């Protein structure tokens, strides 16, 4: 597999960091150095050169996500999808240090994040408001070099200016927050009883987003006591151990024969099956969790006879979800600090992955530069 690289064409300005120091020729970058577990920090990776419509960003903070963990562990998905040699990472905040010759929307020094799904801008979906599911999508840190580096190159169309009121550690995790916002807003949770199956990073974010979006009551399931307790702290009225066979019965008694909305965040077959069992007839299910492989599913009883409305959620809408995220953050109604449990130097990346694997950490953010 070929790693997508940025253009070697000249940039339009003399590249500087903060308008004073020249951009170095090399940088620190965390990359997949072999077809196996773990990653390697390269202290002399070449700084990418932006093409005419690209923006070069000096990364300040970057978030470690579940996709990065898959790449670290080199599971079957990663082995089939990730090119060896790629710099990984797709969640970040930083400052623009150089602009391509055709860039018109941004300026050097501006604080930005970015949408990591890079659409070619052609084809039916890309041209009709569904660029997040367009053909030819390239993903930052998966198909092309990502942001676990001191510098990252992003197409102008994917850059997102960060509001001055949003702190860096929050701006570094807009990507997963966008997954939660997209799921919640598509399902329509206002004045509804909501069940969230799986309260990992995005599931926990969905709790605070659903509360801010006007959910009547929020119920969650998981098998991790620490995360169930945090979900309660964020606004869930009930936090069920998914291994308890009686939780569905209890939930039905608390509602009109089940929740109005299911937000499926786990991707585990048992969680998906139980979520649909719990969902009331005529309810809405929004599915973001990704199963590791195909599995048997009772379509007849869970969807057809139940009259369920089922929504598949992928990424973030470009850029409706980003405007919704910004509005929710500026409202002050989101609680994200309890979810971001660790901030560490990028040099301690191995500890960051260990914290995620052990469950000690929930969201880990690295200080890059």
The CA–CA distances, whole Å, from 307 to 142, 256, 276 equal 37, 16, 11
Q: Which of 161, 146, 160, 211 is nearest to 181 (CA)?
A: 211
Establish whether 122 is a catalytic residue: no
**How far is the C-alpha of 342 from the C-alpha of 352, rounded, in Å?**
8
Phi, psi of 223 (to 5 degrees): -115, 0
Q: Which of 67, 197, 255, 284 is catalytic?
A: 67
Phi, psi of 42 (to 5 degrees): -100, 120
3-class DSSP state for residue 193?
strand
**How far is the C-alpha of 262 from the C-alpha of 287, rounded, in Å?**
8
Q: Which of 172, 162, 159, 160 is nearest to 201 (CA)?
A: 172
Establish whether 90 is a catalytic residue: no
**How far is the C-alpha of 154 from the C-alpha of 221, rounded, in Å?**
37
**How far is the C-alpha of 58 from the C-alpha of 168, rounded, in Å?**
13
Q: Which of 6, 31, 70, 284 is catalytic?
A: 70
User: Is residue 26 within a helix (H) or strand (E), and if so which, with residue range?
Assistant: strand 26-31
Question: Which residues participate in catalysis according to the annotation?
Answer: 67, 70
């Amino acid at each position: 597999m070929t790693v997508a690289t940025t253009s070697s064409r000249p940039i339009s300005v003399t590249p500087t960091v903060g308008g004073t120091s020249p951009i170095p020729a090399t940088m620190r970058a965390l990359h997949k150095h072999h077809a196996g577990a773990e990653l390697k920090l390269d202290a002399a990776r070449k700084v990418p050169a932006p093409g005419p419509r690209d923006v070069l960003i000096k990364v300040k903070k970057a978030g470690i996500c579940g996709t990065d963990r898959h790449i670290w562990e080199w599971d079957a998905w990663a082995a089939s999808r990730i090119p060896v040699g790629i710099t990984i990472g797709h969640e970040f905040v930083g400052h623009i240090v150089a602009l391509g010759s055709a860039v018109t929307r941004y300026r050097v020094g501006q604080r930005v994040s970015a949408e990591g799904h890079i659409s070619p801008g052609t084809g039916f979906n890309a041209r009709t408001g569904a660029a997040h599911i367009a053909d030819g999508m390239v993903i930052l840190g998966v198909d092309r070099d990502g942001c676990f580096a001191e510098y990252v190159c992003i197409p102008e169309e994917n850059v997102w200016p960060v509001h001055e009121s949003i702190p860096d550690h929050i701006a570094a995790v807009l990507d997963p927050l966008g997954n939660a916002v997209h799921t919640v807003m598509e399902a329509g949770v206002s004045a509804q009883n909501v069940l969230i199956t799986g309260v990992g990073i995005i599931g926990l974010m969905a709790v605070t987003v659903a509360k801010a979006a006007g959910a009547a009551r929020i119920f969650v399931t998981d098998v991790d006591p620490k995360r169930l307790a945090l979900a309660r702290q964020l606004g869930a009225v009930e936090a069920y151990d998914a291994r308890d066979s009686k939780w569905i019965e209890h939930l039905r008694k608390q509602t009109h024969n089940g929740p109005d909305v299911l937000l499926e965040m786990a991707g585990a077959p048992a969680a998906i099956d139980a979520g649909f069992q719990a969902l009331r007839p005529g309810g809405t299910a929004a599915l973001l969790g990704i199963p590791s492989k195909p599995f048997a599913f009772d379509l007849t009883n869970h969807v057809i006879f139940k009259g369920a409305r089922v929504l598949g959620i992928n990424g973030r809408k470009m850029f409706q979800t980003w405007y919704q995220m910004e509005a929710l953050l500026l409202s002050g109604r989101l609680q994200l600090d309890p979810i971001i449990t660790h901030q560490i130097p990028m040099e301690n990346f191995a500890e960051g992955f260990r914290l995620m694997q052990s469950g000690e950490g929930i969201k880990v953010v690295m200080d890059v530069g």
